[in-house]
Amino acid sequence: MDTRQVIDTSAGPVALSTTFNNDGSCFSVGLDSGFCVFNSDPCELKVSRNFNAGIGVVEMLGQSNYLALVGGGRRPKFPQNKLIIWDDAKQKAVITLEFRTSVLRVRLTKSRIVVALHNSIHIFAFSVPPRKLSVFETVDNPLGLLCLGRRLLAFAGRSPGQVQVVELETGNVSIIPAHSSPLRALTLSSDEALLATASEMGTLIRVFASSNCAKVAELRRGVDHADIFSLAISPSNTLLAVTSDKSTLHIFDLPHACNSIPNYQPPPATGEEGLYQKWGFLGKIPLLPRLFSDVYSFASAPFEISDDAPPGATYVPQLGSSSCRPPKGLIGWTSDDTLLLIGAGKDGRWEKFAIQEGQDGKRVCTRTGWKRYLGS
């Protein structure tokens, strides 16, 4: 007998998860009743499918009609250990992959399906039937951390704080000892030249060159512990954005990237001893703690982080279960000076931010629009 509590649908749909597609032009939302897809900017509904059951993970293949679906919520549409490749043009499942444990995250390209489980990464050829190409063991990876590009795949290593980077064509694996504590977030730049990481401490973001795994930048979000929600690098690789449970969006310069951008002109130095030193001359005094000389964000802005999850629930956004807090502050760049934040939950929100020059000549980050996308 099914004794699970029936969801009260009178309150409207609840977003269990959100994710941008590979170029940020669309975002998909897993609902307790199905899924939907929106154009990113402007925020307009593109596709809506009602299954009368929950979808905890939705991953789009570009702007195609193929989506990866995993059940979620109180009444899942599919078992959480099954991955469904859904052809929305045909309104049916065309590929089903079953695993021994829950699917935490999925990434798609035209040639590959990559699946993150709690302790492993599985790579398949995108074909019918799918063909398993390789499996990699990982440390406990409850967030399903995984980045997939055309050439590279990055995911948690076999020890806490490590990142494995795989060249898809050759199978060569590089190990980056990114942090001393477990990973919380990672992202590849759109050209796959840079990899940014954050740990559970949430104080430092490190940026590595994917070509040789060298650390090229270290950025300080703050001095207090924070749960990092999202990292994203701008299209030209010159800026990095980060959100956390502090309800603040931070924007950093990536100074190493300036030399590789034709005709790039960095903004003028400010009264804070140039672009990157928050503490001015204190950063030059020997023996002071390193936080005085670290690179801080040049702009920040608050974003919406309304908490609509049960007390004590943890942020594990991929599963979309009732014991998880809905993901917030997911970042998508639409240009080098415009970015979007989306969040799930009962109050699913889309927020738009622009990087502009303020009245004092310094760059500022300003929210220029917002919208509740559920029920729109």
**53 is written with which tokens?**
């059951």
**Measured distance between the N- and C-terminal CA atoms of the chain, rounded to whole angstroms:** 36
DSSP character at residue 54: B
pLDDT band at 350 (very low <50, low <70, confident <90, very high): very high
Distance, CA of 215 to CA of 232 (rounded, Å): 17
- Between CA 112 and CA 133 the distance in angstroms is 9
351-366 confidence digits (pLDDT tens): 999 999 998 889 999 9
The pLDDT assigned to 12 comes to 76
Q: What backbone phi and psi angles, to 5 degrees, belong to 68?
A: -95, 130
* C-alpha–C-alpha distance, residues 196 and 210, integer Å: 10
Most distant CA atoms of the chain, gap in Å:
70
Q: Are 323 and 310 in contact (CB under 8 A)?
A: yes
pLDDT score of 294: 80
Kindly tell me if the per-residue pLDDT of 172 is higher than 80: yes
Give the model's confidence band at 198: pLDDT under 50 very low, under 70 low, under 90 confident, else very high: very high
pLDDT digits (tens, 9 = 90+) for 68-119: 999 999 999 999 999 999 999 999 999 999 999 999 999 999 999 999 999 9
Specify the length of the chain in residues.
376
Structure confidence by residue, pLDDT tens digits, 266-318: 443 333 333 444 444 434 444 444 444 588 999 999 999 876 655 555 555 44
Please give the domain boundaries of the chain with CATH numbers for all domains.
Answer: 14-372 (2.130.10.10)
Select the more confidently predicted residue: 306 or 150.
Answer: 150
Say how far residue 342 (Cα) sits from the centre of its chain.
11
Sign of CA dihedral 175, 252, 263, 192: positive
Residue range 236-251: mean pLDDT, rounded: 97
SS3 label, residue 132: strand
pLDDT in tens, 214-227: 999 999 999 999 99
Amino acid at residue number 364: V
**140: pLDDT strictly greater than 60:** yes
Name the residue among 70, 44, 121 with its Cα closest to residue 350.
44
Query: What residues form DSSP beta bridges with 60?
Result: 67
pLDDT of residue 150: 95
Which of these ranges, 49-63, 78-92, 229-243, 245-259, has the smallest mean pLDDT?
245-259
Asked if the model's pLDDT at residue 257 lies above 70, the reply is no
The CA–CA distances, whole Å, from 28 to 57, 58, 351 equal: 9, 6, 15
